Amino acid sequence: CSGGGLLMYSDSSPSKRTLTADGQEIKKKKVVVLGSGWSGYSFLSHFNNPNYDVQVVSPRNFFLFTPLLPSVTNGTVEARSIVEPIRGLMRKKGFEYTEAECVKIDPSNKKIHCKSKDSTSLKGTTEFDMDYDILVIAVGAKPNTFNTPGVEEHAHFLKEADDALKIRRSVINCFERASLPDLTEEERKKILHFVVVGGGPTGVEFSAELHDFLVEDVAKIYPKVQEFTRITLLEAGDHILNMFDKRITAFAEEKFQRDGIDLKTKSMVVGVTADEISTKERGSGEVVSEPYGMVVWSTGIGSRPVIKDFMQQIGQGQRRVLATDEWLRVEGCDSVYALGDTATINQRRVMEDIAAIFGKADKGETGTLNKKEFKSVVKDICQRYPQVELYLKKKKLRNIANLLKSANGDNTELSIETFKQALSEVDTQMKNLPATAQVASQQGKYLAKCFNKMEKCENKPEGPLRFRGEGRHRFQPFRYRHFGSFAPLGREQTAAELPGDWVSIGHSSQWLWYSVYASKLVSWRTRSLVVSDWVRRFIFGRDSSS
Ligand code: FAD
Ligand code: MG
Ligand code: MG
Ligand code: MG
Ligand code: MG
Convert the pLDDT of each residue in 312-349 to its tens digit. Answer: 999 999 999 999 998 999 999 989 999 999 999 998 88
pLDDT, residue 463, reads: 40
Q: How far is CA 317 from CA 62, 110, 151, 307, 541, in A?
A: 31, 19, 26, 10, 50
Domain assignment of residue 466, yes or no: no
Mean pLDDT of 148-165: 96
**Rounded to whole angstroms, how far apart are CA atoms 265 and 421?**
42
pLDDT, residue 455, reads: 77
Work out the mean pLDDT of the chain and round it to a whole number.
Answer: 86
Mean pLDDT of 69-96: 91
Q: Are residues 309 and 383 in the same domain?
A: no
Domain assignment of residue 420, yes or no: yes
Q: What is the CATH number of the domain that holds 133?
A: 3.50.50.60
Domain assignment of residue 336, yes or no: yes
**Contact present, 81 and 88 (Cβ < 8 Å):** no
Domain boundary among 293, 325, 342: 342
For 39, counting Cβ atoms within 10 Å of its Cβ (0-12 exposed, 13-18 middle, 19+ buried), the class is: buried
Asked if residue 505 has its Cβ within 6 Å of ligand 1, the reply is: no
Q: Are residues 336 and 382 in the same domain?
A: no
Domain assignment of residue 83, yes or no: no
Q: Are residues 338 and 353 in the same domain?
A: no
Q: Are residues 55 and 173 in the same domain?
A: no
| Percent over 70 (pLDDT), the chain | 88
CA angle 525, 528, 532 (to 5 degrees): 140
Asked if residue 159 has its Cβ within 6 Å of ligand 1, the reply is: yes
Residue 187 has pLDDT above 70, yes or no: yes
ipTM of model:
0.96
SS3 content of the chain, % helix, strand, coil (to 5): 40, 25, 35
Q: Are residues 108 and 43 in the same domain?
A: yes
Q: Which residue has the higher pLDDT, 10 or 188?
A: 188
Asked if residue 135 has its Cβ within 6 Å of ligand 1, the reply is: no
Residue 244 has pLDDT above 70, yes or no: yes
Q: What is the CATH number of the domain that holds 216?
A: 3.50.50.100
Q: Which domain holds residue 26?
A: 7-59+100-141+303-342
Asked if residue 156 has its Cβ within 6 Å of ligand 1, the reply is: no
Domain boundary among 323, 342, 361: 342
Domain count, the chain: 3
* Ligand 1 pocket, mutate which of 65, 345, 436, 481 (most atoms under 8 A from CB): 436
Taking the centre of ligand 5 as the mean of its atom positions, its distance from the CA of residue 358, in whole angstroms, is 9
**Rounded to whole angstroms, how far apart are CA atoms 83 and 68?**
10
Mean pLDDT of 129-148: 97
Ligand nearest to the CA of 141: 1
**Rounded to whole angstroms, how far apart are CA atoms 23 and 356?**
48
217-237 residue pLDDT tens = 887 889 899 899 999 999 999
Q: Are residues 319 and 212 in the same domain?
A: no
Mean pLDDT of 50-67: 94
Asked if residue 55 has its Cβ within 6 Å of ligand 1, the reply is: no
Q: Are residues 492 and 403 in the same domain?
A: no
pTM given for the model: 0.87
Q: Which phi and psi angles does 346 have, rounded to 5°?
A: -80, 90
* Ligand 1 pocket, mutate which of 58, 62, 197, 446 (most atoms under 8 A from CB): 58
* Ligand 1 pocket, mutate which of 39, 66, 135, 310 (most atoms under 8 A from CB): 66
Q: Are residues 338 and 215 in the same domain?
A: no
Q: Which residues contact 385 (CB under 8 A, 6 or more apart)?
A: 347, 348, 350, 426
Q: Are residues 159 and 297 in the same domain?
A: yes
Asked if residue 202 has its Cβ within 6 Å of ligand 1, the reply is: yes
**Rounded to whole angstroms, how far apart are CA atoms 138 and 435?**
12
Q: What is the CATH number of the domain that holds 422?
A: 1.10.238
Ligand nearest to the CA of 374: 5
Residue-wise over 49-74: b if at least 16 C-beta within 10 A, else e?
Answer: beebbbbbbbbbebbbbbbbbbbbbb
Amino acid, res. 110: K
Q: Which residue has the higher pLDDT, 432 or 62?
A: 62
pLDDT, residue 7, reads: 39
pLDDT, residue 393, reads: 81
pLDDT, residue 301, reads: 94
pLDDT, residue 1, reads: 31
pLDDT, residue 11, reads: 47
Q: How far is CA 500 from CA 201, 249, 391, 400, 428, in A?
A: 21, 18, 15, 19, 20
Domain assignment of residue 320, yes or no: yes
Domain assignment of residue 132, yes or no: yes
pLDDT, residue 442, reads: 92
pLDDT, residue 20, reads: 61
Domain assignment of residue 402, yes or no: yes
| CA-59 nearest atom, ligand 1 | 11
Q: How confident is the model at residue 213 (pLDDT cuts 50, 70, 90)?
A: confident
443-475 residue pLDDT tens = 999 999 999 988 776 655 444 344 434 444 467
**Contact present, 425 and 388 (Cβ < 8 Å):** no
Question: 465, 482, 447, 408: which is closest to 49 by C-alpha?
Answer: 447
| CA-57 nearest atom, ligand 1 | 20
272-319 residue pLDDT tens = 999 999 999 988 899 999 999 999 999 999 999 999 999 999 999 999
Residue nearest to atom 16 of ligand 1 (CA): 139
Taking the alpha carbons of 76, 79, 81, 84 in that order, is the dihedral positive or negative? positive
Q: Are residues 265 and 180 in the same domain?
A: yes
Domain boundary among 342, 371, 396: 342
| CA-440 nearest atom, ligand 1 | 49
Q: Are residues 24 and 157 in the same domain?
A: no
Half-sphere exposure at residue 300, Cβ-oriented, CA atoms within 13 angstroms: 13
Taking the centre of ligand 4 as the mean of its atom positions, its distance from the CA of residue 320, in whole angstroms, is 12
Reading phi first (left if > 0) and then psi (alpha if -120 to 50, else beta), residue 328 is in left
Q: Are residues 160 and 261 in the same domain?
A: yes
Taking the centre of ligand 3 as the mean of its atom positions, its distance from the CA of residue 341, in whole angstroms, is 10
Using DSSP bridges, classify how beta strands 343-345 and 230-234 pair: parallel, antiparallel or unpaired.
Answer: unpaired
Question: 325, 437, 330: which is closest to 385 by C-alpha?
Answer: 325
Domain assignment of residue 441, yes or no: no
**Contact present, 48 and 450 (Cβ < 8 Å):** no
